Chains A and B, each alone.
Chain A
Amino acid sequence: MSYQVDEKDGYAVVRLTGEVDLNRSPDARRVILDCLQKKMPLLVDLSGVDYIDSSGVASLVEGYQLSRSRQLDFGLIGVSDAAMNVLRLARLDKVFPIYASLEARLKDTR
């Protein structure tokens, strides 16, 4: 797994790529929590994720929970099929705000 952080339109966009498994998810967790510590609204881009296990998903859950407690916007964008299957299994597709892209998030007025 690798990751990249960009700032765009007031959002931090964390793009995860490759396999987010037990060995790599602590890095994903750290970068997500770091962004939120800086009080930035956050979108996690999963379009490049080939595989994400439940430790990776747990890091997303923790990030979402923290962002809510700080009243920061949070969302997942470009969720790949592989990632969506894992989210669906635990019905988390009904929990996370999910958008096609950053642009889609900006257009969405919720």
Chain B
Amino acid sequence: MPQAATVTASATPYAIEVEDLVSYYDSRRILDEVSLRVRPGEIMVVMGGSGSGKSTLLRHLLGLNRPAAGRVSLFGADISQASARELYQLRRRMGVSFQNGALFNSMTVEENVAFPLREHTRLDERTIRIMARMKLEVVNLAGFERLMPAQLSGGMIKRAALARALVMDPSLLFFDEPSAGLDPVVSADLDELILRLRDALRVTILVVTHELDSAFRIADRITVLDQGRILITGTVEEVRNSPSERVQNLLNRRSEEIDVDPEEYLRRLTD
């Protein structure tokens, strides 16, 4: 397939390469010269406080937001230079489970999981059904294929969404807050599953999470975002042992003393 070949043409050792990425919403700078490289088969965990820009970074990796400056490359292809067709080819290789990613309420669990295959492939209907059910087996949802999303628990919805993200056998898997709101046992199961996926498939995984235990369990490396800037990127050990006070505060969930500028504060309350 020549199109796919062009997309992966330039040789690079990285599955994901972000260089000096700058991003705005209106006039607000959300990402400030963010650089990050993820190797094939690596599990990169993105941490950081609420509003630090994690989901925004993910949207850039998916090509949903355009950088104000800097570059995002996947498998060596600069996605802002990619043609619509190339972007489509790249997206076929990505599986994503969004933070607020719901299932389609009007479809059964199986139809939800099979949806990307029906949209993007011309596989035989029987092949599609077997593939969807295999993924439900992988996420331990066997037997629930005919239920509607409203009949599932929160953890089951997360797993069904993961099954859908996996159904095309992606080479890149993006997962925004997989364990948020789940009890620790279910969350540990999900971690286990993420590790098994990486070992069984050729998949590079980027996980956004607030959960420290989870991050330490699954990460090859962790990157910490703080107000749109990267504070540190390193192995679990490196991040754990970081001398940076901000990193430690984040890890220990100490809320930082917010600097108060009295004039500015008064203005905010009254203008």
Contact = CB atoms under 8 A, between A and B. Distances in A.
Interface of A: 21-23, 25-26, 29, 51, 53-55, 57-59, 61-62, 85-86, 88-92
Interface in B116-139: 121, 123-124, 126-128, 130-131, 134-135, 137-138
A62 B127 contact: yes
A70 to B, nearest CB: 16
Contact of A26 (B123, B131, B135, B168): B123
Given A55-B127, A62-B130, A89-B138, A22 B201 contact: no
Interface string B199-219: 111100000000000000000
Contacts of A23: 1
B127 A86 contact: no
Q: Give the 3 A-B CB pairs with smallest separation, nearest first.
A: A58-B130, A89-B200, A53-B169
B201 A85 contact: yes
**From DSSP, what is the main secondary structure of chain A's interface residues?**
helix
A49 to B, nearest CB: 13
12 contacts: A21-B169, A22-B169, A25-B123, A26-B123, A54-B134, A54-B167, A55-B131, A58-B127, A86-B200, A89-B200, A90-B135, A90-B137
A54 B137 contact: no
Interface in B57-83: none
Interface residues of B, number: 22
Contacts of A91: 137
A89 B196 contact: yes
Given A29-B124, A61-B130, A54 B135 contact: yes
Contacts of B197: 89
A102 to B, nearest CB: 26
Contact of B123 (A22, A85, A86, A92): A22
Contacts of A55: 121, 123, 127, 131, 169
A55 B114 CA distance: 12
A57 B128 CA distance: 11
Nearest to A89: B200
